[in-house]
């Protein structure tokens, strides 16, 4: 193995590795860094100075991702590049293209008394004390722990079956008014209530649904 005659370092396997080492002893042979030719630009959000490569400079420039996100939040309505001509809701607010109303007015039609499925706020009323875990388990056992809507087994649904009130009256705890459903079928029963009531009543009709507490 060869050694450097300048610093005495040993362990070079060949002359090429020794030559590469010696270049660092000669300043004229060292690799020179290329000058950084970045361009000074101003952030369009916070007005701070930032240096960017020419290829990265666009119509809008930002110093950070946070400034970019803040600018994007302002691109609504007529300021959006995808704007196709605006219109206004009856309340005076600007609405999305082809929308019937603004978002605020639309929300007001699907919540509370404006909702077509409004049932007088019964969902906020508490359940009777007798509607307890013991009664629910008796209903589930009676229905063989199977959803009476879609037929899925309780073990396949990965959660306990719900016990649904067929007539949507929480105080009616008659066994013929209680039926086992999965979470999805229980949610579906809150829409087209008359249809689902008729369907589940037909399910329990003609059967012996008596339970023994």
* pLDDT tens by residue, 5-28: 777 777 777 887 878 777 776 665
Model pLDDT for residues 48-76, shown as the tens digit of each residue: 888 888 888 888 889 888 889 988 888 87
Report how far residue 14's alpha carbon sits from residue 16's, in angstroms, rounded to the nearest whole number: 6
Using an 8 Å Cβ cutoff, are 3 and 21 in contact? no
Structural domain count, the chain: 4
Residues 17 and 41 in one domain: no
Instruction: Examine the domain organization and report whether 19 and 41 are in the same domain.
Output: no
Q: Within this chain, do residues 168 and 108 fall inside the same structural domain, yes or no?
A: no
Q: Classify each residue of 105-134 as buried b or exposed e, where b means 16 or more C-beta atoms within 10 Å of its C-beta.
A: eeeeeeeeeeeeeeeeeeeeeeeeeebeee
Q: For the whole prediction, is pTM greater than 0.85? A: no
Calpha distance 184→161 (Å, rounded): 10
What distance in Å separates the CA atoms of residue 181 and residue 160, rounded to the nearest whole number? 9
Residue 43 and residue 57 in one domain: yes
Q: Residue 73: helix, strand or coil by DSSP?
A: helix
Instruction: For residue 213, tell me if it sits in a domain.
Output: no
Residues 189 and 136 in one domain: yes
Q: What's 23's DSSP letter?
A: G
Residue 114 in contact with residue 101, Cβ under 8 Å? Answer: no
For 81-95, the pLDDT digits (tens) are 766 666 666 666 666
């Amino acid at each position: 193995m060869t050694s450097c005659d300048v610093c005495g370092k040993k362990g070079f396997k060949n002359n090429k590795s020794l030559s590469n080492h010696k270049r660092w002893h000669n300043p004229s042979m060292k690799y020179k860094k290329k000058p950084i030719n970045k361009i000074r630009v101003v952030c369009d959000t916070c007005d701070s100075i930032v240096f960017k490569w020419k290829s990265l400079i666009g119509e809008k420039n930002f110093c950070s991702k946070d400034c970019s996100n803040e600018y994007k939040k302002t691109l609504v309505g007529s300021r959006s590049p995808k704007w196709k001509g605006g219109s206004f809701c009856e309340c005076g607010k600007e609405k999305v293209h082809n929308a019937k109303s603004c978002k605020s007015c639309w929300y007001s039609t699907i919540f509370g008394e404006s909702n077509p499925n409004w049932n007088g706020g019964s969902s906020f009323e508490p359940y009777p004390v007798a509607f307890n875990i013991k009664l629910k388990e008796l209903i589930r056992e009676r229905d063989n722990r199977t959803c009476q809507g879609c037929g899925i087994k309780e073990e396949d649904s990965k959660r306990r079956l719900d016990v649904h009130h067929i007539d949507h009256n929480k105080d009616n705890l008659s066994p013929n008014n209680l039926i086992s459903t999965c979470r999805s079928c229980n949610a579906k029963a809150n829409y087209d209530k008359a249809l689902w009531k008729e369907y589940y009543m037909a399910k329990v009709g003609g059967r012996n649904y008596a339970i023994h507490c």
